[in-house]
Amino acid sequence: MDQLFNTSLEKNVGTADKVIRATVASSMIGAACSKKISTTGKVILALGAAMLLATSLTGKCPAYQAAGIDTRNYDDE
């Protein structure tokens, strides 16, 4: 049961990656506000934007961890 709620996810998102994620999320939010997008499209864009913002703010990406990717620059730390 402890493994289910394990919050020991390592930070694995670098600064440039965070900026790109935040920029793309902002664009997705803008697109979701368009009248030309269907309701389903708006929901998909909003969920995608929320995911990108969350990973950008926390610096932790579960998909990166699963793939063994780490974009941090350790020289800056």
Instruction: List the domain boundaries for the chain.
Output: 15-68
Average pLDDT over residues 44-63: 96
Q: What is the pLDDT of residue 76?
A: 58
pLDDT digits (tens, 9 = 90+) for 14-41: 999 999 999 999 999 999 999 999 999 9
**Tell me, what's the pLDDT at 1?**
45
Residue 55 CB coordination number (10 Å) = 21
Q: At 32, is the secondary structure helix, strand, or coil?
A: helix
Which of residues 9 and 13 earns the better pLDDT score? 13
Confidence of residue 74 (pLDDT cuts 50, 70, 90): confident
Q: Residue 62 corresponds to which amino acid?
A: P
pTM as predicted: 0.81
What is the maximum span of the chain, computed from C-alpha positions, in angstroms? 45
Phi, psi of 70 (to 5 degrees): -145, 115
